[in-house]
Amino acid sequence: MSTTRPLDAAIVGIGQTDFSKDSGRSELQLAAEASLAALADAGLGVSDIDGMVTFSVDPTEDVELMRVLGVPSLGYSVRLPHGGGGSGATVYHAAAAVATGAARHVLVYRALNARSGRRFGQPRDPGAAPSVGSGWSFAQWYAPYGALTPAATLSMHAMAFMSSHALSNEDFAEYVVGIRDFAATNPSAWFHNRPITFEEHQASRWIIEPVLRLLDCCQETDGGVAFVVSTVERARDLRQRPAVVLGAAQGVGAADVAGRVYAQAGVGPTDLDAAMVYDAFSVEVFSSLEDLALCPRGEVKDFVASGAIRRGGIVPVNTNGGLIGEGYLHGMNLLTEAVRQVRGTAANQVAGARHVLMSSGRGACILGGET
Amino acid sequence: MSGRGRLTSFIIIHHPPIPSFELPIVVGTVELEEGPRVTTNICDAARDELELGMPVEVCFAATTDKALGVPLFRPVRA
């Protein structure tokens, strides 16, 4: 396993717009608003930014965001592969840029009108060319048979995992009730003040039988999220308590990515105080928990049922309500939640959180306070 | 090829509506006796019949071109 020491980097500012179903403004506007909020949070100005990172399906070009913000020049700019899977990888690339001196302050952004614009849950145009850069070109093989939504294609894969782990949709209810409990006490969440019961989950209609019911699916959300990455030394002069990047990685193979992050950070799964795990659909969390070694292989069903990842559990997962409960900002709102947990400012704060992991499968990081 | 295989994954799509399909749609992955796996639709199957590992056989859906048929699969009946 190729591991190295941690990159010298920290997340120094976070920002977001309101999360809604109808933003009433362009994605460029949302990206700019979130970016300005992140800079203000950090105590930086637009001219301090000299690097940008986003991922494949974001519609906002770096040059457009530079123009509207007034960023004079960039020494580093990259657009990562794998769609939402790339959200967790943004930290790795931004950290690498500042640690190597390619940039001083890197702005990471993602903004989407996934409800009022192109709805993410609706079928793809079967006649459209396979997407390049999102990791979804395989979808062309499903299209002739009617599997044209993320829920459908993901469920085709999920069936094997459910079968080998004796999981049913009732097991997913356990997870969803837990994150809706978190969302209920998070004012930023779409489902703020709206917890659900197991029975309500099971009464929701099938979207993809026998895998996903309506309440297993994330929101289609309008909004923007941004954050700024700098070196730890520069972070000390800024406004917020830095969220130090203890470990970060990108790759294909979720367990391998997680292993590299743990090794870099010198932190193991049992050292985590909280984890943010990509949950466009409930079932994804179950395979991810095993890939992240939060429970032994084959035991995720009992692990989730034990309450381990709920409020007050040994490793609370998706304390903002996740992408299902807070909103689908394509994974980026899980990163900002990880930062808030490390700062001690989360709506559902885990007392004394020191090591917080975020994973979107193809990218992951562990954030912590400065030691 | 034998046209026979077993069902290695299946889903029943209930929502949202898909242009030119009638809901619910049963999509499956079939591992052919010869080894390759193909994505397909499963037809002529009752909901309770669908089971991972079940034997299936090919059938062909007609197209506007009389020389061409789309390979679909159905449960093997005794």
> Chains A and B: how many Cβ contacts under 8 Å?
64
Secondary structure string (H, E, C) spanning A43-96: CCCHHHCCEEEEECCCCCCHHHHHHHHCCCCCCEEEEECCHHHHHHHHHHHHHH
Kindly report the nearest CA distance between residue A233 and chain B, in angstroms.
50
Same domain, A180 and A207: yes
Instruction: Kindly state whether residue A128 falls inside one of the protein's structural domains.
Output: no
Residues A156 and A303 in one domain: yes
- The per-residue pLDDT for range A113-162, each reduced to its tens digit, is 999 998 989 988 777 776 777 777 888 888 889 999 999 999 999 999 99
> Mean pLDDT throughout A66-81?
97
Q: How many structural domains are present in chain A? A: 2
Whose CA is closest to A160, among B9, B48, B38, B28?
A: B9
Instruction: Locate the chain B residue with the closest alpha carbon to A119.
Output: B16
Q: Which amino acid, one-letter code, is at A252?
A: V
Closest C-alpha among B11, B15, B28, B25 to residue A211: B11
| Residue A204 shares a structural domain with residue A342 | yes
C-alpha A247, offset from chain centre: 16
Query: Is residue B16 less than 8 Å (CB to CB) from chain A?
Result: yes
pLDDT of A301 above 60 = yes
CA A30 to each of CA A4, A33, A72, A187, A336: distance values in angstroms, whole numbers, following the listed order: 36, 5, 20, 19, 16
Mean pLDDT over residues A310-316, rounded?
98
Does any domain span residue A143?
Answer: no
Given the residues A76, A109, A175, A278, the one annotated as active site: A278
**pLDDT, greater one: A308 or A131:** A308
- Give mean pLDDT, residues A101-105: 97
- Of the candidates A123, A142, A206, the beta carbon closest to that of B39 is on A142
Residues of chain B contacting A209 with CB distance shorter than 8 Å:
11-12, 14, 24
Contacts with A118 (C-beta within 8 Å, 6 or more apart), sequence order: none
Please report residues of B whose CB lies closer than 8 A to that of A152: 11, 13, 27
Is A129 within the bounds of a domain? no
Q: Which residues of A touch B27 (CB under 8 A)?
A: 142, 145-147, 152, 156
Instruction: Determine the average pLDDT of the residues in A359-370.
Output: 94
Q: Which of B7, B13, B60 to mutate to test the interface with A (most CBs of A within 10 A)?
A: B13
Could you tell me the two tokens for A362? 């193809």
Residue A210 to residue B12, Cβ atoms within 8 A: yes
Does residue A356 share a domain with residue A263? yes
Structural domain of residue A159, as residue ranges?
Answer: 149-217+253-368
**A148/B24 touch (CB, cutoff 8 Å), yes or no:** no
What mean pLDDT is predicted for residues A92-109? Answer: 97
Assess whether pLDDT exceeds 80 at residue A259: yes
Instruction: Note whether residue A341 is domain-resident.
Output: yes
Q: Is the pLDDT reported for residue A1 higher than 60?
A: no
Same domain, A277 and A239: no
Same domain, A236 and A271: no
pLDDT digits (tens, 9 = 90+) for B14-67: 999 998 899 999 999 999 999 999 999 999 999 999 999 999 999 999 889 989
Active site residue A145: no
Residue matched to tokens 């399909």 = B21
- Mean pLDDT across B62-74: 92
Asked if B70 is an interface residue toward chain A (Cβ–Cβ < 8 A), one would say yes
Determine, yes or no, domain membership for A144: no
Contact of A123 with chain B, judged by CB distance below 8 Å, is answered with yes
Of A126, A145, A157, the CB nearest to B27: A145
Output A370 or A14, whichever has higher pLDDT. Answer: A14
Its ipTM equals 0.94
Domain CATH number, residue A83: 3.40.47.10
- Confirm if A54 and A79 have CB atoms less than 8 A apart: yes
Q: Do A159 and B11 touch (CB under 8 A)?
A: yes
Q: What is the mean pLDDT of chain A?
A: 95
Is A122 part of the contact surface with chain B (CB cutoff 8 Å)? Answer: yes
Q: What is residue B9's predicted lDDT score, i.e. its pLDDT?
A: 97
Cα angle vertex A77, ends A71, A82, to 5°? 130
Domain ranges of chain B: 4-75
Whether the CB of B77 is below 8 Å from some CB of chain A: the reply is no
Classify A260 as helix, strand or coil: helix
With CB atoms and an 8 Å threshold, state whether A211 touches B11. yes
Same domain, A205 and A236: no
Residues A103 and A208 in one domain: no
**Within this chain, do residues A213 and A226 fall inside the same structural domain, yes or no?**
no
Sign of CA dihedral A11, A294, A286, A262: positive
User: Residue A352 has what pLDDT?
Assistant: 95
Report the pLDDT value the prediction gives residue A23, as an integer from 0 to 100: 97
Q: Distance from B77 to chain A by nearest Cα, in Å?
A: 23
- Rounded-to-integer distance, Cα A257 and Cα A248, Å: 9
| Percentages of chain A per state (helix, strand, coil), in multiples of 5 | 40, 20, 45
- Say if residue B78's pLDDT is above 90: no
Whether A278 is catalytic: yes
pLDDT of the residue at A3: 55
- Residue A2 pLDDT more than 60? no
In a domain, A211, yes or no: yes
In tens, the pLDDT along A189-226 reads 999 999 999 999 999 999 999 999 999 999 999 999 99
Q: Does B25 touch chain A (CB under 8 A)?
A: yes
Q: Same structural domain for residues A27 and A163? A: no
Query: How would you list the strands of the sheet with A106-113, edge to edge?
Result: A76-80, A51-55, A106-113, A222-230, A10-16, A243-250, A363-368, A355-359, A274-277
Which phi and psi (to 5°) does residue A83 adopt? 50, -135
> Which are the contacts of A63, defined by CB distance < 8 A and separation ≥ 6?
none
Residue A333 has pLDDT above 60, yes or no: yes
Residues A65 and A188 in one domain: no
Residues A189 and A227 in one domain: no
